Amino acid sequence: MRTPDQILGPYFPMQIKPMASEDLTKLDGGSEAAQGETVQISGHIRNLEGKPVDGAKVLIWQANCFGRYSHPNDLNQAPLDPNFHGFAEIASDSSGAYRFRTVKPGAYPAIADWMRAPHVHFEVNGLFERLITQMYFPNDPLNTSDRFLMSAHQPDLLIAQNIPSENSSSCHKLRFDIVLARG
């Protein structure tokens, strides 16, 4: 099935350029790492026929580990991390694969009675279409109360899968495959 659409969100990055890097844990030219749990997210971008989408442009943006975006309209009182702006652009390879490192975003208050579950925003521009979606983290207790996740036709398609680690790496690995209708 096609990956469900999600909202673009109120905090699409402004006034900053996306990093041209697969590692969001360090700013270009920075020496300090971002705060929070490091995660590696990888997957494949395919069409409904299962064919890989080569060269899909993928924009990624997210809140920091405290649940705050580097955005002038984010009034959340959580701290900003000076070593993280959470915005990058990558591309899928000839097999449709993509991969990046980041920090697990924190939950944040959307409105008075609702906390958003941790999530990463994706804008995927394939050869024939554009998909805006969000990836959620497996087993997060806020998933079942996240109104955007629960409003999706098939919410399970938006939850990443854990990748078992073969060593004692401190980096949590997740798989999030993206399916476009035509690619």
By annotation, the residues acting in catalysis are 69, 108, 116, 119, 121
Which amino acid, one-letter code, is at 101? R
C-alpha 134, offset from chain centre: 6
| Pairing between β-strand 119-125 and β-strand 108-111 as defined by DSSP bridges | unpaired
66-to-37, 83, 88, 103 alpha-carbon distances in Å: 11, 13, 19, 10
Phi, psi of 149 (to 5 degrees): -65, -45
The rounded distance, in Å, linking the Cα atoms of 175 and 159 is 9
What is the amino acid identity at position 35?
A: Q
